């Protein structure tokens, strides 16, 4: 299997024991970033680490239910902001 795939393109089995993504911090608010590691093996959890430069400042692990709740929260806020922007633009017409 190719290392490029997180999951087998044929059977869907996880190719890695964890999946990692790095998110840059907002440049106007401060430096640093957020590293999110999702562990696919037991115990399944998501590890969120706050980084500043080359050092981790803080970290927390969330169980799958809390990870899902966090994702729903972020999506709901994004949808609300997008609909508010559309409403403001339509009000100007």
Pick the residue with more confidence: 90 or 75? 75
* Residues forming a β-bridge with 21: 36
Structure tokens belonging to residue 6:
């997180």
Q: Would you kindly state where each structural domain of the chain is located, as residue ranges? A: 1-62, 63-93
* 74 vs 79, residue with greater confidence: 74
How far is Cα 72 from Cα 84, in angstroms, rounded to an integer? 18
User: Tell me, what's the pLDDT at 90?
Assistant: 64
Q: How far apart are CA 77 and CA 5, in angstroms?
A: 30
pLDDT tens-digit map of 21-73: 999 998 888 779 999 999 988 899 999 999 998 899 999 999 999 999 999 99
Angle 70-76-77 from CA coordinates, rounded to 5°? 95
């Amino acid at each position: 299997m190719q290392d490029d795939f997180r999951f087998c393109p044929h059977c869907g089995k996880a190719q890695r024991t964890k999946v990692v993504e790095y998110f840059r911090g907002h440049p106007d608010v401060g430096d640093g970033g957020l590293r999110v590691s999702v562990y696919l093996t037991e115990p399944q959890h998501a590890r969120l680490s706050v980084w500043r430069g080359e050092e981790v400042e803080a970290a927390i692990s969330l169980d799958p239910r809390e990870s899902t709740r966090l994702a729903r929260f972020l999506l709901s806020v994004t949808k609300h902001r997008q609909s508010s922007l559309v409403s403001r633009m339509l009000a100007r017409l």
